[in-house]
Structure 1
């Protein structure tokens, strides 16, 4: 078992809002010293101040920014033992489409496809690799040899993506696909790796949707018929961290929804 307490430094990417903010708050409530990696400075600083953590302005698509973030976090709190990857974004563009008015045919801009992959997939892996290397330098925390725990965020779209989600699904499917190999890479070092596949959650992005859209989405969830609460994601993330036998798993958190084509 890995305890979350004042001796457990943590890093949460995308921790300024949504799933990341809820996780940062949950970890801090258990005593962890939390560093928030995000590009939203005003929100990130406010959350960090509220939970007694620190904010690090980090762009997960560059080595320099991520290295600087880890350096700042470790200087303040010591080597992180927990990494939760919530930084990410989305898009809705068809692979190829026909304009209904003009009949013009267009394909998905490859720069836009690569941009999404760089944030959601490569950015997640970049943070995993650099955090794991740091954890390997630390002493074990338990008789089992635990050195740290990593939780990633994929999406149900990684398994049943909808129309227009080819790039998003590819990025999240990549996170799912790399979870077990990374857990195997790190098994001798006592670093566990798991991934959560959230369904439809009530995040700031969803808050921007019209009420009728949110109601329709909630009705599509088998049970409970509502959007997920970010705190529910945070609860599962903490369970994955604390349960020492939880390793190499990809777990849907979705009210048993299976996404329709559109």
Structure 2
């Protein structure tokens, strides 16, 4: 886990096999970005949507196959009612205004998180967006909305327990693969790289199981300032890492 530094070397981004297949981003700092400019928090969230558009475009340009964005956590409901309402409206606007363009660009949309407590119109927007784009292959955009990793793991364990209780599954058959198949991310590869903006260095209940062997890059810029150059710098850091997955470095074997 390390921050970006200006002295990092800059390998080309088109080296075969060197780019991460799956990048996950914890989009942090909208409120602080707005506060530094004496603007309401809503202004930071609005600019954050622009950063989402830039990140998706950059992922397409770089050839990233999967991009996961942590947009609204299951803990965010504790924020002021006005702010939560604004965030929900942003999702509605995103679904109504951006999905058609994403579809035209070949982006497949997948939403992860607990849908049971969401308003019916939001669930409908989610389902329509996923259905419209389900056959696209240029990029899979995964949006974590009303998502918390502990909640995800709890729901997965409950689903497995129900199958064991009903006799559809024996306790001895339960293993890591079984759990992965019951997670919201079933069928998706684990993230190779997790980026967090705004200088914070923690996971904040994001993809706890899936990021067990992810590389981490922390950037000081707040999310509304995230752009292609910052994305490229994070990718360059990743490309310099020696990923061993618990084994020895290639030079030591």
What is the TM-score when the length of structure 2 is the normalising length? 0.37
Larger relative contact order (CA 8 Å, sep ≥ 6)? 2
